[in-house]
Amino acid sequence: MKASKSQPTHRVWSDMIAERAIALGSEWLRTRQAALYLNLSYRTLEELRSSSGGPTYRKVDGTEPFRMDELDAWIGSRSFTSTSEEIQAGKESRNA
């Protein structure tokens, strides 16, 4: 059985592009870039977006760009001092 060479994957390439956009201080990030910036998986950010639980985004020609300052604001709004506080906040947001 031959050992296969390690091939760079699409994910590795997209992460490199995302890191470059973040390092350059780009005002707008695409979904994969925003996920990397937030330290979330791409799929998790997509799920948050579809359930109205994620950060604000725009819809432009089939892409969903996120503003970096809005990502920071969304993360800032999700700070808790205990898990019970987090659970209570989740219940309140579902009842709103």
pLDDT tens track, the chain, 96 positions:
455 555 555 556 666 766 776 766 678 888 888 998 899 998 999 999 888 889 998 888 888 889 989 999 998 888 878 888 777 776 666 665
Domain boundaries, the chain: 10-95
Q: 61 vs 9, 33, 38, 45, 64, CA distance in Å?
A: 26, 17, 23, 19, 8
Closest CA to 55 of 27, 41, 76, 24: 76
Q: What is the pLDDT of residue 43?
A: 94
Q: What is the pLDDT of residue 45?
A: 93
pTM of the model: 0.65
